[in-house]
Structure 1
């Protein structure tokens, strides 16, 4: 699978043979204080690397053809998939989303916003900031997948099934708030195993909803890890890489850390 370099970078530098590479887990919400990071630390982390590797090109213009993954078809609405009480709670929890927009959202989008405390992806996310720093420095930038690859994984479960999970979550919104706060604490404490264990408990969901969540997780995490691995191994063989992907991709039996250890790489924790 060929590596897709960022054409907007003014020039690239060539790494020395087998230079050390770094694997950094990102998170898509929370401020620097909550994450235990600073802009200076984030910028300095890239100083010894030649290539930034991330999930998708965050600077690419939006593609209207991908809206089918995000929005319900015209004949459907969110309020038809969940109860009136659930829709009212979603409006209460996401006041920044106009009701007509909320009606069009697929349930996975609403769940993602609730998990991120209503914070929408923007220029202050770790992923976006790292890509901008790398671009400004003239680093090579490699993306592990396309935006469509990512959206297809997010939307791999039928909306009717996603809606069942959303309905359950909206019955106990405090559970999602508590999970979000624990996720930030686990990230700040660099305890990804505890974060994954918390995700796996699926507090507040019944058996059927847990089965749906497990299928979604396989699409979103495990199958993507498997697709990324061959290219990651090729890039690591070149050396000098700074790999920045969602932190939840790293821990666990099917995580990237276990896969890299199995491939023979020595992994050492670095303070940040």
Structure 2
């Protein structure tokens, strides 16, 4: 359970850059112009990574140090978050009632062999949440971590407040639109294609480490149907971009969200540029 609980001068954006998608390879972007007194920063994260692969550059640390507060997708500093998450995970039916007997046995065998957990014991957890138990075997380390958690620790050391661009309920509403039977079918499909999923994750991890957000957003889009891409990425991007300007006006802010949200025509960078903000790539020194 814990693993689960456990993102300047008054210059307007030049007309020629309106609507342009980002081309630079970097996870760090400076937000300025359009009346902002101080720059804010936008950083692309990956939610699950092995500790040895986590690298925060000196350039990113410098940008973080300049800001006054941290905004993630969720407020990971919220003491109620863990309890809310556990409540939302609870299912009113056991997983075995959502799958055919032979499919359930295949899932039980996978969990026993790959994760060490009994699916019978975990069966009252909604299927989507069971994916978190597969992270370790998928990425190849026993204690995967998140980039967001690292930024939370940096914020603690600097006595910076931590906030979320959306609530847990906002985030979970995406999954609540998908029936548990459909979730169970998707979980089963994930298990059946587990080796392929491992390969896909390694591709995305390589793209992330290369800070190639354009390739990353394409890889992420390939993993979703058009409907789920809208629910998981596009809709949330629009919602965040309504909030980011006001937050940035009030205080210089370090925004850290999933890297797949940044690039593309409907990504956060382009949506901010369409609102008149200058969003500039910050390249590692």
Give the TM-score taking structure 1 as reference length.
0.77
Report Cα offsets for 1:178-235 as digits up to 9, x if no partner: 1111111110011122122223333xxxxxxx6xx44333222222222222210112
- CA distance in 1 between counterparts of 2:145 and 2:49 reads 9
**Helix, strand or coil: the match of 2:265?**
coil
The answer to whether 1:152 aligns with 2:173 is: yes
Q: How do 1:161-200 and structure 2 match up within 5 A?
A: 161-200=182-221
Aligned-residue offset at 1:243: 0.7
- CA distance in 2 between counterparts of 1:40 and 1:98 reads 43
Q: Which residue pairs with 1:217 in the alignment?
A: 229
- CA distance in 2 between counterparts of 1:241 and 1:92 reads 44
Q: Which residue pairs with 1:22 in the alignment?
A: 41
Q: Aligned in 2, Cα 1:115/1:175: closer, same or farther, shift over 3 Å?
A: farther
- CA distance in 2 between counterparts of 1:79 and 1:145 reads 33
Q: Which residue pairs with 2:23 in the alignment?
A: none
The answer to whether 1:78 aligns with 2:99 is: no
Q: Which residue pairs with 2:7 in the alignment?
A: none
- CA distance in 2 between counterparts of 1:96 and 1:39 reads 36
The answer to whether 1:229 aligns with 2:250 is: no
Aligned-residue offset at 1:92: 4.4
Aligned-residue offset at 1:140: 3.4
Q: How do 1:50-65 and structure 2 match up within 5 A?
A: 50-61=68-79, 62=81, 64=83
Contact map agreement 2:71 2:163 (CA 8 A) in 1:
yes
- CA distance in 1 between counterparts of 2:236 and 2:52 reads 30
- Aligned match of 1:108 in 122, 125, 128? 128
The answer to whether 1:267 aligns with 2:279 is: yes
**Helix, strand or coil: the match of 1:268?**
strand
> Which residues of structure 1 form unaligned runs of 5+?
1-16, 203-209
- Aligned match of 2:252 in 236, 240, 245? 240
Point out the more displaced range, 170-179 or 139-148.
139-148
- Aligned match of 1:251 in 263, 269, 278? 263
Report Cα offsets for 1:16-61 as digits up to 9, x if no partner: x6211110011111135434x1486664441111121112121223
Contact map agreement 1:81 1:163 (CA 8 A) in 2:
yes
Aligned-residue offset at 1:250: 1.1
Contact map agreement 1:56 1:143 (CA 8 A) in 2:
yes
Aligned residues: 243
**Helix, strand or coil: the match of 1:104?**
coil
- CA distance in 2 between counterparts of 1:218 and 1:87 reads 29
> Which residues of structure 2 form unaligned runs of 5+?
1-35
Q: Which residue pairs with 2:67 in the alignment?
A: 49
Q: How do 1:26-41 and structure 2 match up within 5 A?
A: 26-35=45-54, 37-38=55-56
Contact map agreement 1:144 1:231 (CA 8 A) in 2:
yes
- CA distance in 2 between counterparts of 1:264 and 1:231 reads 14
Q: Which residue pairs with 2:88 in the alignment?
A: 69
Point out the more displaced range, 39-48 or 127-136.
39-48
Report Cα offsets for 1:86-120 as digits up to 9, x if no partner: 31354146414343443122221233554673799
Contact map agreement 1:24 1:247 (CA 8 A) in 2:
yes
